[in-house]
Chains A and B, each alone.
Chain A
Amino acid sequence: MRGKTVVGDAREVARATELIELGMRLQMLESEMPLSRERLTKLYKELKGKSPPKGMLPFSTDWFVTWMPNIHASLFMGIYHHLIKVSALDDIDALIKSYKLYLEQCQALDSDVVMSITRAWRLVRFVDAKMLRVAPCTCCKGEYVVREFDLTRHYVCGLCNVPSRAGKKRPDAALKIAA
């Protein structure tokens, strides 16, 4: 049983701390961590200096197939798959590590962080639950997040075939498309 020993407990608290700092919502911590709700709430308040936000978690799979989120979701998923393939990691550790790499990548690309860790976690769960999956683009061979029942034999990703209005919602959107 995890979290039963003092050392194990300390490790869980350290993990939870890391997750809260990355912006994870309390509801997710509850389902991922063997710590009690009270302790998590207390930890959250200590770290953030305010009560955890209430309300529903994002629950839509559609968000992940819209243009910009899809790019970021696919990037994250690529990193995540790579990590779990090359090393034996706990689910939650793999999530933390790949999310950090994703943040780094966003910084390197000078792009907004489109996907919160909550979304990233939902994405992994959606893929586990076979609501989403990845499919290779027939053009660039990259793997992109698609819905489970999408037809993908001739799939072309949103980067090989950029939709005409893509990324034009906000002028300061980090991914700039040539006019």
Chain B
Amino acid sequence: MTSEVYYRKWRPQTLAEITGQEHVTQTLLRALETGRIAHAYLFCGPRGTGKTSTGRILAKAVNCITNGKGEPCNSCDMCFALTQGRALDIIEIDAASNRGIDDIRELREKVKFSPNSAKYKVYIIDEVHALTEHASNALLKTLEEPPAHAIFILATTEPHKLLTTILSRCQRFDFRRLTHDAVMAKLSFVCQKERIIVPPEGLRLIAKSVSGSLRDAENLLQQLVIYYGNEVQLNQVEDMLGITNDSRIRQLVQHIAGKDLAAGLSSINDMSHDGLDLMQVNRGLVDYLRNMLLAKSGAEASLDLSADDRAQVKELAGKMSLEEIVRAVKLFGQIDFRSRDYSSLPLELAFVECLVPEEPGGTAAPTPKAKAQPARPASTPKPRPAQKPKEQDPPSALHPQAEGTAESRLDYVKAHWEEFVDTLRGAGSSGNLDAYLRSACEPEALDEDGTLVVAFKYLFHKEKVEDTKYRRMIEQRLATMFGSPNKLRCVLRVQNARSAMDGHLVKAALQMGGRITEVVTDESTTGGSDE
């Protein structure tokens, strides 16, 4: 028999047991106590923050025979049946599996039946964002006129994918990523119940590595216990998490500060050859550099470090200028480990670029200390098709929440454009709406009335996005994410497209002995370059 995994075994059974969502549980509890129960709730929030658990508790609380108000008693027949998942009137629907219009129509029919034995028929609809558009509309109808005996609890990790009309029908609760302390509190609880001993510092490391998801944390804890038994040491936690020994990170920072190219590259290669997790190395490195930044900018009081460590951070920070540290944080902080190919190249590149600034003409070269370079036509525009707006981004942590002028709002939109495009993943008829936006256009201007002007390079993409259906979808998302802008206008930037598309061909022609005699902006330029 599989022993039950922790996140199921220790699933909370009362609102009070829900960790780190007091703003939700307090409100729900008050509503339960005063009997003000809504017919539709929407629980939004990242994975593992307690949405489904809260839904189940709420279903129990409204039907509890003993209490009837406030928390469920967890001992009456009804609570018991619900905990065991055998209550007929609490229906958990996985919207991802029942996403079509027919599924929701069927639900609409079934809602009309009165409950078997409970006071309320409670529908918990998980992953509600997965419903098709038609199904969502059908659900909306039910939410508009629910029978008195029905309560709907919708849960989703992606509320931006819901129809605004559905949002407006529900009492919405936003579940937050759990704080480290909240995760630790729950982990300590599980440890106590399971008779597991893990040093608090170890629990903190787990909490730090799970970005606020309790389920992830409980999984890690269980993995530790399977691996090391019921008594786990701090270094074992570090091992399991692949957390790198501080000394190797410090060594690398020393090479950055000392501008020792060869030694730095070889220490990165050593770490890679030794099988260290470079993503973790980088995480540690960025943390370390941030600490240096704090020390340098006089905020050392906020460093959560031992005296020794603090002295070392200060010493290293003394060897670099503030500008250099910022640059290093930026270069390493930008590394995208999503492709996860375990290559040491991203680290190497960031490291080399830290020490040897890029040549002029490049995209991001703040301090050109020109070295000997082979001649290159200075005027050649660097051909980069589909340049991603991300490259102009300052590190997101330093980014202010934009409000006020259209200009600053535009900057904000630009800075978050990629995030925004990500939310459209899977949208559109063949699920590739995001691709049209990602590679083909960038935000260009923002009108005072909240219209975002987006410049396209290709007519094809522009037309696709201009399709009313898609435009509406995008506008809706814009409104959800930014508030304003919430309208979209598409323009075509032909010249940009030309230079991007043909730049390399022009360059080729030049190198082959061609000469620019005239700049023509109409279609015929294309013909000029393929001699």
Say whether A associates with B.
no
Measured CB to CB, the residues of A under 8 A from B are: none
